[in-house]
Amino acid sequence: MRKALAIDVGGTKIYNTIVNEKGEIISEIEKRHTPKTFAEIKQIFKDIIACHEDEVDVIAFATCGAVNNSNNGILGSTGNIASEYPTMDFSALSTKKKVFVENDANAAAWAEHVIGASKGMPYSIMITLGTGVGGGIILGNKLYKGKNGAAGEMHFKMRTDKHRQCTCGSWDCFEAYASGTGLKLTAEEISKNPDITTYDVIDGWKNNDVLMTKIFNQWQNDILEGLIGLANLFDPDVIVLSGSMAEFVDEKYLTDAVNKEIVTTPTKVVKGIAGNYSGMIGAALLALGVDSVGGSNG
């Protein structure tokens, strides 16, 4: 069975493992801190590839940042990783094996589509709720990337009065409300306590604390408002919520509430099941040309 060396590149950690064409992780997961400099990042990539490329058929990166439609380079900014990172020439990293690169959220959406929560459904939107928010859109069983590869950014406005600045530099994006960071900011606003943490809210909500439940519900309702817009724009089979914060949301409540408000046809809101390493799995499946309908994506 064919295999990919999968490498997940985030602003704080770099992971790697080997994934087969069934989407199974078949070796140990290695983990490193993402170094500060571009030179050190490149060295880590070279070390990982040198160590493992003889074991695999292809090298698959799941990376922060939008990836161009040729799946070989990065478009624009990438958050808190070294500023030269977008100049990386991924294809030059190995002379022996083909190198494939995809945005991490797109890759995770593909993993859910092929082996996870949106399996068998041609139209899906995946949203990762973590420190930030990522997005991946599958339309007609294909990863949707837009004209250059940057599509699927969950930066649409939740209000228009410049209330909360987003990490993207603009104001009041979905990310600024639906993320873990957004939950903390909502908690600060409602509790008037600048030291309140996401953990405080989740812990209090689990223990039926009235104030923490109010904060949690406001956060979940903001997510709901965003999902309504996505369902009306895309008429998807399913919206998949994954990432560290997704475990707390109520799928049934969100499904019912979305379907009560939309003008398009009924959809579902479910939690992702492809796991914490879905980015590596999805990148590997894409690199190996594995899709959900017995063909390749493209």
List residues near its own copies by CB under 8 A. Answer: 66, 75-77, 121-123, 135, 137, 139, 144-161, 168-170, 173, 221-222, 225-226, 228-230, 232-237, 261-265
| Burial zone of 55 (CB within 10 Å; 0-12 exposed, 13-18 middle, 19+ buried) | exposed
Which of 229/289 has CB closer to its own copies?
A: 229
Least separation in angstroms between residue 222's CB and its own copies is: 6
Cα distances (Å, whole numbers) of residue 150 to 67, 103, 184: 7, 9, 28
Least separation in angstroms between residue 109's CB and its own copies is: 13
Which of 28/161 has CB closer to its own copies?
A: 161
Least separation in angstroms between residue 75's CB and its own copies is: 6
CB 179 within 8 A of CB 129: yes
Spatial CA neighbour of 4 closest among 249, 255, 289: 289
Residue count (the chain)? 298
Which of 38/144 has CB closer to its own copies?
A: 144
CB 214 within 8 A of CB 189: no
Which of 37/265 has CB closer to its own copies?
A: 265
Which of 3/268 has CB closer to its own copies?
A: 268
Which of 76/98 has CB closer to its own copies?
A: 76
Least separation in angstroms between residue 280's CB and its own copies is: 24
Structure tokens at 170: 């603009």
Least separation in angstroms between residue 187's CB and its own copies is: 16
Structure tokens at 40: 């050190």
Q: How far is Cα 270 from Cα 18, in angstroms, rounded to an integer?
A: 27
Amino acid code (one letter) for 217: N
Sheet holding 30-33, edge to edge: 30-33, 13-20, 3-9, 58-63, 98-103
Q: Is 228 left (phi over 0), alpha (psi -120 to 50) or beta?
A: alpha
Least separation in angstroms between residue 27's CB and its own copies is: 34
